[in-house]
Amino acid sequence: MHTITIHTTKAYEILMEEGLLATAAEHISKVLPPAEDGHAAKSAPRKCCVVCDKTVHQLYGQKSQPLLTGLLEAGYSVHVYVFDPGEKSKTLRTAEDLCGFLFENHFGRNDFIIALGGGVCGDLAGFASSIYMRGIPYVQIPTTLLAMADSSIGGKTGVNAEAGKNMLGTFWQPALVIADPETFETLSETELLNGLAEIIKAGFIGDTSIFDAISEGLPAATAKAIQVKKDIVEEDEFEGGKRKLLNFGHTIGHAIETCSKYTVPHGFAVMTGMYLTALAADERGWSSEPMAGFIKSAIDAFAYPVYTDCTAAELAAAAKDDKKHEADNITIIYPDRPGTCAMKELPISDLEVFIASGLTKAQGR
Q: Which residues contact 275 (CB under 8 A, 6 or more apart)?
A: 292, 295, 296, 299, 306, 358, 362
Task: Measure the CA–CA gap between 198 and 194, rounded to whole angstroms.
Answer: 8
How would you class 342 by CB atoms within 10 Å of its CB: exposed for 0-12, middle for 13-18, buried for 19 or more? middle
Catalytic residue among 46, 165, 194, 198: 198
Residue 180, CA distances (Å) to 19, 64, 256, 291 in order: 6, 19, 30, 34
Let me know if 241 is exposed, middle or buried by CB neighbors in 10 A (0-12, 13-18, 19+). exposed
Q: In terms of C-beta density within 10 A (0-12 exposed, 13-18 middle, 19 or more buried), how is residue 354 classed?
A: buried
Active-site residue identified among 90, 224, 244, 266: 266
Identified catalytic residue from 194, 224, 254, 257: 254
Helix (H) or strand (E) holding 6: strand 2-6
In the set 87, 237, 239, 352, the catalytic residue is 239
Note if 10 is an active site residue: no
Q: How far is Cα 274 from Cα 285, in angstroms, rounded to an integer?
A: 16
Of 229, 230, 237, 257, which is the active-site residue? 229
From the list 27, 79, 244, 250, the catalytic residue is 250
Catalytic, 156? Answer: yes
- Told to judge if 243 belongs to the known catalytic residues of this protein, a careful annotator would answer yes
Rg, Å, the chain Cα set:
20
Q: Is 329 a catalytic residue?
A: no
The question of whether 105 is a catalytic residue gets the answer no
7 included as an active-site residue? no
Catalytic residue among 134, 185, 189, 261: 134
Residue in 156, 201, 230, 244 annotated catalytic = 156
The amino acid occupying position 75 is: G
Whether 175 and 12 have beta carbons less than 8 Å apart is answered as yes
Q: Is 27 noted as a catalytic residue in this protein?
A: no
Decide if 107 contacts 137 (C-beta within 8 A).
no
- Strands 325-326, 329-337: pairing kind: antiparallel
Catalytic: which of 243, 244, 257, 352? 243
Choose the catalytic residue: 165, 247, 257, 352: 247
For the annotated catalytic residues, the residue numbers are 134, 156, 198, 229, 239, 243, 247, 250, 254, 266
